[in-house]
Amino acid sequence: MARRGLDVDTKSECSSGNGGRNCFAGGFRVRLVSALACLAALGFVAPGASQDPDDLALARMYNLEYDAARQALEAQLRQHPDDLRALDYLGALALDEELLREGLYSTEAYTDRDVASRENRPEMIAGYENRVLDPLEKGEDKAEARLKKKPDDRDALYWAGAIHATRAEFDFTLKRSYVAALHEGRTAYKLNEELHRLDPGYTDALFVIGMGQYVAGSLPWYFRVLASFTGFRGSKPEGLADLREVSERGHYARADAKVLLVVLYRREGMYRQAIDVLQDLTRLYPRNFLALTEMVRIEQAEGDWHAAARTVDDLVARLDSHAPGSEIMPAARVLYEAGKIHEHLGEMDPALRLYDKSAAVPGHKASSYQAGLAAAHLELQLNHPAAARQRYRQIATAVPDTEEGKEARRALKEMGDVRGD
> pLDDT tens across 82-129, in order?
999 999 999 999 998 888 777 666 555 444 444 444 455 667 788 889
Nearest to 299 by CA among 337, 261, 353, 354: 337
Lowest mean pLDDT among 23-27, 216-220, 341-345: 23-27
d(CA 104, CA 91): 17
d(CA 302, CA 173): 28
Q: Domains in the chain, start-ordered, CATH in brackets?
A: 11-285 (no CATH), 330-420 (1.25.40.10)
Lowest mean pLDDT among 9-23, 97-111, 222-236, 339-353: 9-23
Q: Are 142 and 87 in contact (CB under 8 A)?
A: yes
pTM: 0.77
Q: Are 335 and 358 in contact (CB under 8 A)?
A: yes
Neighbours of 380 (CB within 10 A): 18
Question: What's CA 277's distance to the chain center, in Å?
Answer: 15
Neighbours of 107 (CB within 10 A): 24
Nearest to 87 by CA among 127, 126, 131, 118: 131
Q: How far apart are the first and last CA of the chain?
A: 47
- Residue 119: predicted pLDDT: 52
pLDDT at 25 over 70: no
pLDDT-derived band at 275 (thresholds 50, 70, 90) equals: very high
Kind plus residue range of the DSSP H or E element containing 196:
helix 178-198
d(CA 170, CA 348): 43
Q: What are phi and psi of 26, to 5 degrees?
A: -135, -125
pLDDT at 326 over 50: yes
Q: What is the three-class DSSP state of 11? A: helix
Lowest mean pLDDT among 38-52, 68-82, 158-172, 267-281: 38-52
Q: Give me the percent of the chain exceeding a pLDDT of 70.
A: 78
Q: For Cα atoms 336, 342, 347, give the angle at the middle one, nearest 5 degrees.
A: 135
- Residue 113: predicted pLDDT: 45
- Residue 271: predicted pLDDT: 94
Round the average pLDDT of the chain to a whole number and report it: 81
Q: Buried b / exposed e across 294-324, counting CB within 10 Å, b at 16+?
A: bbbbbbbbbebeebbbebbbebbebbeeebe
d(CA 5, CA 62): 7
Residue-wise pLDDT for 354-386, tens only, equals 999 999 999 878 899 999 999 999 999 999 999
- Residue 108: predicted pLDDT: 52
Q: How many CA atoms, within 13 angstroms, populate the side-chain half-sphere of residue 238?
A: 11
Lowest mean pLDDT among 214-223, 287-296, 303-312: 214-223
- Residue 233: predicted pLDDT: 64
d(CA 377, CA 388): 7
Q: For Cα atoms 135, 140, 142, give the angle at the middle one, nearest 5 degrees.
A: 95
What residues contact 90, with CB distance under 8 A and at least 6 apart? 70, 73, 74, 77, 135
Nearest to 268 by CA among 236, 245, 246, 295: 236
Report which DSSP code applies to 174.
Answer: I
- Residue 208: predicted pLDDT: 87
Residue-wise pLDDT for 186-245, tens only, equals 899 899 999 999 999 999 999 988 888 887 777 554 445 444 444 556 788 999 999 999
Q: Are 305 and 344 in contact (CB under 8 A)?
A: yes
- Residue 220: predicted pLDDT: 56
Q: For Cα atoms 58, 61, 62, give the angle at the middle one, nearest 5 degrees.
A: 90
284-290: average pLDDT? 85
- Residue 48: predicted pLDDT: 42
Question: Residue ranges of the alpha helices (H) in 42-120?
Answer: 53-62, 66-79, 84-101, 114-117
Q: Are 223 and 34 in contact (CB under 8 A)?
A: no
d(CA 196, CA 251): 15
Full DSSP string of 217-267? HHS-HHHHHHHHTTT----HHHHHHHHHHHHHH-STTHHHHHHHHHHHHHH
